[in-house]
Structure 1
């Protein structure tokens, strides 16, 4: 698959997520507001850097086979300056923990996301 097709699929998935979040927020604004506030605090700089937190989130996303979170947190890793090597090592740790399911996402979805999204950084 060429880079343009991958880019549009990743961007489309991110757009679908944002649209779904917007619809959910319209229906349950207080729940969405509280969830967003909670996650913002969780991802703030602290003893762990924002980059480290995104790498952890990526590993958990892979281990739980959550495609949207995998895309979202691969982007988060790139946005926080994670290198390809750091992202791939995170994928390796997730695969060691979650086995083949995590590895299958790492060798496909994460690499596609890095390829598509890295051109924007």
Structure 2
């Protein structure tokens, strides 16, 4: 395991949580409504929570959003997605998003899988 990379993935998750905490203090009504909206979007429904996390990961890759890529890779793992399911979702994103999505898949997502899987 590459400790430098592990620290950066964990640091990115911490950085996001700190940022959302500060934002919530400054605009609590907005943060509360955003959180309620996303909670509703990711709730179990016709699609499972795992399926929704896999979709979100694909969108994150296509949008080239590194924080969301890390966050939703973790979400996929938290919901029990296998490495194969995660990589297939990434492949679909690459088919849509081209080289940019593929570059994030072969670097950032695989780093997250290596490092975050040990926490599960």
TM-score range, shorter chain: over 0.9
- Which secondary structure state, in structure 2, belongs to the residue aligned with residue 112 of structure 1? helix
Q: What is the number of residues matched between the two proteins?
A: 120
Q: Which residue of 2 aligns with 1:30?
A: 29
Q: Identify unmatched segments of 5+ residues in structure 2.
A: none
TM-score, structure 1 as length reference: 0.97
Alignment of 1:5-44 (within 5 A): 5-44=4-43
- Which secondary structure state, in structure 2, belongs to the residue aligned with residue 101 of structure 1? helix
Give the whole-Å Cα distance in 2 for the aligned partners of 1:58 and 1:28.
27
1:52-85 deviations in Å (ceiling 9; x for gaps): 0000000000000000000000000000000000
TM-score, structure 2 as length reference: 0.98
- Which secondary structure state, in structure 2, belongs to the residue aligned with residue 76 of structure 1? helix
Please state if 1:82 is matched with 2:81. yes
Give the whole-Å Cα distance in 1 for the aligned partners of 2:104 and 2:54.
15
- Which secondary structure state, in structure 2, belongs to the residue aligned with residue 99 of structure 1? helix
Task: Report if the CA contact (8 A) 1:43-1:53 is conserved.
Answer: yes
Q: Identify unmatched segments of 5+ residues in structure 1.
A: none
Give the whole-Å Cα distance in 1 for the aligned partners of 2:6 and 2:79.
19
- Aligned-residue Cα RMSD (Å) equals 0.6
Q: Which residue of 1 aligns with 2:104?
A: 105
